[in-house]
Amino acid sequence: MTLFMAVCDVEAGSDKLAYERLLKNLVKTESVMPLFIGQIFETADLEIMIKAQDVESLNDFILKRIRSIKEIREIMVYPITSFKGLAQFSLADFQSSYSAQDTAVEFPLFTVKLDIEPTKDIEVYQELSKITMSDTVLPAFLGYTFQQADFDIGFYFFAMDIQSAWDFIMRLRGIDGIWDTDIGVVTRIKSLVSAKDMSQVLSQ
């Protein structure tokens, strides 16, 4: 199976409705497994990570489960290859480290689109894959994006706060071979699979 990231352009004012309808539609099938959904902070559009057996199954799933929602105007889908999970333990454990008075803390997912210098893709990927968790940042996963024009590697991580995220991004920008970064923030993240299924995906 291959991982795909789908970004949905939602009609202004219909964000909550589109989100709720997607939650009902994004159900696992024999060949497609939606992993999570979240809201992109900058644009209020929606981002969905999907694991699919093949492109045909994914296309059928998108037509029936996503494009059928009238509040969604456009969808951009890009594959993630050489996917690697980086989480050393569950997000729940990371959240509990910063919970106050037994109240769960919801951390946003930061998405970093990396533009890589030609000939240095493998070197940069290997360097990124070595990054481990710190007290304030939990690297989640990374992967190549298949021949995308605007970026080459996607890196995803959770952070305790904006300052921690900024410091971490500055660390990434210091890696030899990284030309540029484009940062996004995903909030209202909802897992669409069991913790076991998600763990299996991250461990592959």
156-183 average pLDDT score: 93
Structure tokens at 52: 């699919």
Please tell me the number of Cα atoms within 13 Å of 173 on its side-chain side: 11
Instruction: Say yes or no to pLDDT of 118 above 60.
Output: yes
Q: Are 56 and 50 in contact (CB under 8 A)?
A: no
Rounded CA separation 200/154 (Å)? 20
In three-state form (DSSP H/G/I as H, E/B as E, the rest C), the secondary structure along the chain is CEEEEEEEEECCCCHHHHHHHHHHHCCCCCCEEEEEEEEECCCCCEEEEEEECCHHHHHHHHHHHCCCCCCEEEEEEEEEEEEEECCCCCHHHHHHCCCECCECCCCCEEEEEEEECCCCHHHHHHHHHCCCCCCCEEEEEEEEECCCCCCCEEEEEEECCHHHHHHHHHHHHCCCCEEEEEEEEEEEEEECCCHHHHHHHHHC
Domains of the chain, residue spans: 2-81, 83-188
Mean pLDDT over each residue of the chain, to the nearest integer:
85
What lies within 8 Å, CB to CB, of 67 at 6+ separation is: 75
User: Which CATH topology does 83-188 take?
Assistant: Alpha-Beta Plaits (3.30.70)
Percent of the chain with pLDDT over 90: 53
- Specify which of 46-50, 106-110, 193-197 reaches the highest per-range mean pLDDT: 46-50
Instruction: Say yes or no to pLDDT of 81 above 90.
Output: no
Q: Are 33 and 107 in contact (CB under 8 A)?
A: no
154 strand-pairing partners: 113, 143
Please tell me the number of Cα atoms within 13 Å of 170 on its side-chain side: 6
Structure tokens at 190: 């909802």
- Quote the pLDDT of residue 94: 53
- Quote the pLDDT of residue 99: 46
Question: Is-same-fold flag (2-81; 83-188)?
Answer: yes
Of 86-90, 163-167, 191-195, which range is least confident? Answer: 86-90
- pTM higher than 0.95: no
89, 107, 130, 136 from 133: Cα distances, Å: 9, 14, 10, 8
Query: Selecting from 3.30.70.920, 1.10.3720.10, 3.20.20.140, 3.40.50.10680, what CATH number does the domain 2-81 have?
Result: 3.30.70.920
